[in-house]
Amino acid sequence: MLNISHTKSTLVGDEFVPGISGGERKRVSVAEMMATRARVQSWDNSTRGLDASTALDFVKGLRIMTDVLGQTAFVSLYQAGESIYDLFDKVIVLDHGRQVYFGPPSEARAYFEDLGFRSLPRQSTPDYLVGCTDPHGRQFAPGRSSPSVPSTPEALEMAFQASNHYKTLMSDLATYKKEQEEEEKDQKAFRAAVIADKRKGAAKKSPYTLGFAGQVKALTVRQFQMRLQDRFQIVSSYLLNLWVAFVTGIVYLNLPLTGAGGFVRATLLFVGPLMVVFDSQGEVGLMMVGRSILDKQVSWRKSSSEIAIVLMHTHRQASVCTDEQPTRSPTCLQIFRSRLLGCLSTTS
């Protein structure tokens, strides 16, 4: 729907790391919000930076989500087209924080025309509604002027409160509240749906649908996928560690089986863990960069995210340590043991 399937293996990027384009980054944020499965969503000018066809597909996606999943979406759009405007159930018009209209989109234009505002030729309904609240952009119908037409925010609000649309709105609101107080069927159905949505291992009173172990597993897989996207850092790190392992292994050649050789071997054994520690310092910044994203995504426990990060880095550092230790293979380990025992027997 958002045409970003080709960016699946690409970093989002920032001012230092090259990644996807600005429009693709915008669509990634939209997809992130749509994947939260929130019952009530608020979209503030989310189509800015998107082309007309993508913006229409985005609103159609919201329309499908509200119909199928029973969600409620509050959307504010900038220069919405007529095809986008017709997809909404209700439209609200605000003027300096005052509600001057709330009702069906198909009746909004006629309502303001009855108040005395003139619509221009080939003017879309969203532009006309915005123009009615703009003192410099609105025009009055023939024979009407500012004294005879509600022009101020207060006058527009009073005119709406005296209209049939406001009476219908208050009647629907009172009916809904009464139904919610008396009818327990919907409440029971909602509680049953929440319990059925929980996975195995999740407590009944927990706000999460997945247990702690499941969250750690899913987030660990996610951390590995994120790490695999930065292939340059992975390749350069492994090449560096392979080079250090090669140089360290060369030093082992022709070492004397004396006390001097024992000290050199101990020093070389210390080089491997030391390089792992130095290489891990660069991971601290990467862990801090994603904190803002994790704070925004509250669909899991923060502790499970931290454990997943530790597991990913532990696995990576263990593999690097294996590359750097030339004595990890059984044959090399046996040779090192024999030489060390010979060195100790010689010095004693």
pLDDT per residue over 274-303, tens digit each? 877 777 776 676 666 666 666 666 666 777
Structure confidence at residue 102 (pLDDT):
93
Tokens 């492994």: give the residue. 238
Structure confidence at residue 323 (pLDDT):
44
233 confidence band (pLDDT: 50, 70, 90): confident
Structure confidence at residue 207 (pLDDT):
65
Answer whether 0.85 is exceeded by the pTM.
Answer: no
Structure confidence at residue 12 (pLDDT):
75
Distance (Å, whole) CA 266 – CA 263: 5
Distances in Å between the Cα of 347 and the Cα atoms of 195, 252, 258, 259, 344 are 71, 19, 6, 6, 5
pLDDT at 71 over 80: yes
Average pLDDT, the chain: 77
Smallest Cα–Cα separation from 242: which of 252, 230, 234?
Answer: 234
- Specify the domain boundaries for CATH 3.40.50 within the chain: 5-182
Structure confidence at residue 336 (pLDDT):
40
Structure confidence at residue 19 (pLDDT):
77
CB 101 within 8 A of CB 92: yes
For 45-126, where are the E strands, in sequence order? 72-76, 91-95, 98-103
Pairing of strands 72-76, 40-44: parallel
Radius of gyration of the chain (CA): 33
Structure confidence at residue 100 (pLDDT):
93
Structure tokens at 287: 């862990």
Structure tokens at 20: 């996807």
Q: What is the rounded average pLDDT of the residues 174-197?
A: 75
- Those residues with Cβ within 8 angstroms of residue 135's Cβ, 6 or more apart along the chain or in another chain: 151
Flag the least confident range among 17-31, 55-69, 116-130, 162-176. Answer: 17-31
Structure confidence at residue 77 (pLDDT):
84
Structure tokens at 72: 């409620």
3-class SS of residue 244: helix
Flag the least confident range among 87-96, 260-269, 331-340. Answer: 331-340
Q: What is the rounded average pLDDT of the residues 201-211?
A: 70
pLDDT per residue over 296-347, tens digit each? 666 667 777 777 777 776 655 555 444 444 433 334 444 444 444 444 443 3
- DSSP state, residue 211: -
φ, ψ at 4 (rounded to 5°): -130, 20
- Those residues with Cβ within 8 angstroms of residue 55's Cβ, 6 or more apart along the chain or in another chain: 47, 77, 80, 81, 84
**What size, in residues, is the chain?**
348
Tell me the percentage of the chain whose pLDDT exceeds 70: 78
Distance (Å, whole) CA 160 – CA 162: 5
Distance (Å, whole) CA 9 – CA 5: 9
| CATH code given to domain 5-182 | 3.40.50
- Those residues with Cβ within 8 angstroms of residue 36's Cβ, 6 or more apart along the chain or in another chain: 297, 299
Structure confidence at residue 327 (pLDDT):
38
Structure confidence at residue 317 (pLDDT):
53
Structure confidence at residue 342 (pLDDT):
42
Between residues 39 and 109, which one has the greater pLDDT? Answer: 109
